[in-house]
């Protein structure tokens, strides 16, 4: 098998703060723990036994993907990366809607307080979280995330 055999998308499946390694002196961050990763290629999806996802980090997975694991796709990683970014900035995970038609869905707070001193994040930062948490869709890609992230400045 040559390199062309592996063209496709690798879905990590468990992006969360504990799976990010940090080399502080060099300011290098690396994603680790590819134990539940899947390889996605047009017409081919590697299979993972269902129990793996039943023990996953549901706070870092879109609500609708928790309910129907067949919907797990690359956008699940984009969502998880956004929630991880939020958690690393604020020290919290998103609160969930307690009831009603959106029960279980995350709530993006009106004001995002960053770090231990709680200084307020920008409106652009809130819009970023709104886009990838509330207005997310199954076609989101890491390229779209990266472009919007870089525009935060």
CATH of the domain at 20: 1.10.510.10
Which residues are CB-neighbours of 4 under 8 A, at least 6 positions away? none
pTM, to two decimals? 0.76
> Domain range for residue 146?
7-150
The tokens of 54 are what?
Answer: 């039943």
User: 11-25, 29-43, 122-136: lowest mean pLDDT where?
Assistant: 29-43
In a domain, residue 2? The reply is no
Structure tokens at 96: 């969930």
Q: Is 153 helix (H, G, I), strand (E, B) or coil?
A: coil
89-105 tens-digit pLDDT: 888 888 888 787 777 78
**Residue 35 domain flag:** yes
Q: Are 121 and 112 in contact (CB under 8 A)?
A: yes
From 8, 142, 17, 150, select the one nearest 77 (Cα to Cα).
Answer: 142
Q: How far is CA 75 from CA 79, 99, 102, 121, in A?
A: 6, 25, 20, 25
Does residue 38 fall inside a structural domain?
Answer: yes
Total domain count, the chain: 1
Please report whether residue 16 resides in a domain: yes
3-state secondary structure of 93: coil
Q: Is residue 1 part of a domain?
A: no
pLDDT in tens, 37-72: 776 665 545 555 444 444 457 788 888 777 777 777
């Amino acid at each position: 098998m040559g390199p062309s055999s592996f063209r496709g998308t690798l879905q990590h499946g468990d992006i969360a703060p504990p799976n990010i390694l940090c080399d502080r002196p060099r300011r290098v961050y690396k994603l680790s723990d590819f134990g539940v990763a899947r390889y996605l290629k047009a017409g081919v999806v590697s299979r993972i036994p269902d129990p793996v996802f039943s023990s996953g980090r549901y706070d870092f997975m879109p609500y609708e993907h928790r309910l129907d694991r067949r919907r797990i796709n690359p956008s699940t990683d984009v969502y998880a990366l956004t929630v991880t970014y939020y958690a690393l900035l604020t020290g919290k995970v998103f609160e969930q809607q307690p009831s009603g038609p959106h029960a279980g869905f995350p709530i993006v707070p009106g004001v995002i307080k960053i770090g231990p001193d709680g200084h307020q994040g920008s409106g652009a930062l809130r819009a970023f979280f709104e886009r990838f948490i509330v207005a997310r869709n199954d076609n989101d890609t890491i390229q779209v995330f990266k472009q919007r992230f870089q525009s935060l400045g």
